[in-house]
Amino acid sequence: MRRKVIAGNWKMNNDLSGSISLISAIKNGLSEKGTDNLVIIAPPYTSLETACALIKDTEIKLSAQNMHFEESGAFTGEISAGMLKSAGCEYVILGHSERRTIFSETDEIINKKLKKALSSELLPIFCIGETLEERESGKTNSIVERQISSGLDGISESDFNKIIIAYEPVWAIGTGKTATPDQAQEVHKFIRNLIEKIYSKNSAEKCIILYGGSVKPDNSAELLSQNDIDGALVGGACLKSYSFLEIIYSV
């Protein structure tokens, strides 16, 4: 049985003081009740080292929000996989729609990042998803298939088994709109079938596929009850400890 995963992507929010307060509140909430779910937090770069120290000796795992595919060099403002490892990260979010749309990251760039993360022993959370225009024109499956096939190009099955996939329909991210449980389940099932074609039935069955896109306490239970939805990549609702904890405990 696949373990449920709840990951919080803080995006460009919280300075060091805010990060300490939020992590402390999440820790306190989890210590009271415990959880069998895997909990991951992705603070901004400036809080990673402090976050690592705060979550030491807990079950909370640390993720970065992005990284460059080169290890070092003249790439002003970028962060390498080695730097993330040294700050205590185990995971890294790659291919998020905001990276694709705002920063023009292509499938090819994301493929390079996935390969670099894997070779550096970072576990990728690989994001995919369609825009509203693409959904309304009936292109959801073709877009998802292209992003997955291109992103995983040249990645072995053993390496793929270290990847978490996050389906995030772009039209539902930060908009308050959410795919219905049936809509989300339909795409998650399509993704799992696609993984079976690319790799194997075993890898498809083991693959953890998260849903992201305006996940909140009032919709998380129904979304996470679907057969092929294995958790959530939470945005805005992870910035308040109480709402993030409600989502964790809604599974």
Q: Which residues participate in catalysis according to the annotation?
A: 96, 168
Pair 90, 61: CB distance under 8 Å: yes
Nearest to 236 by CA among 174, 178, 177: 174
Integer angstrom CA distances of residue 42 from 12, 45, 133, 200, 250: 10, 9, 29, 30, 20
Integer angstrom CA distances of residue 96 from 26, 93, 172, 245: 24, 7, 13, 23
Pair 134, 140: CB distance under 8 Å: yes
CA dihedral 101, 41, 241, 209 (to 10 degrees): 70
The tokens 């696949």 sit on which residue? 2
Pair 22, 54: CB distance under 8 Å: no
The whole-angstrom separation of Cα 88 and Cα 106 is 27
The whole-angstrom separation of Cα 240 and Cα 22 is 7
The whole-angstrom separation of Cα 246 and Cα 225 is 15
Integer angstrom CA distances of residue 251 from 33, 68, 247: 13, 34, 7
